[in-house]
Amino acid sequence: MVPTAIPSFGGMLIVLLTVFIVPVLYCAMEEFRLKKEKKG
């Protein structure tokens, strides 16, 4: 059971990180872009 549990657990961790990190990065980039437009 352990040899199959390691990759599946790693895959779930990658999915969770993607679900949380991608929107945060997107929001940060959008805020940076909007601040840049507001200044210029």
Using DSSP's 3-state secondary structure scheme, residue 2 falls into helix
Rounded CA separation 4/12 (Å): 13
**pLDDT on residue 28:** 97
**pLDDT on residue 30:** 96
**pLDDT on residue 34:** 95
Q: Tokens representing 7?
A: 């990759």
**pLDDT on residue 21:** 95
pTM for the model: 0.61
Rounded CA separation 4/21 (Å): 26
Residue 29: domain span = 1-40
Residue that has been written with the tokens 């657990």 in this structure: 9
pLDDT tens, position by position, 1-40: 789 999 999 999 999 999 999 999 999 999 999 999 998 6
* Domains contained in the chain, number: 1
Rounded CA separation 2/15 (Å): 20
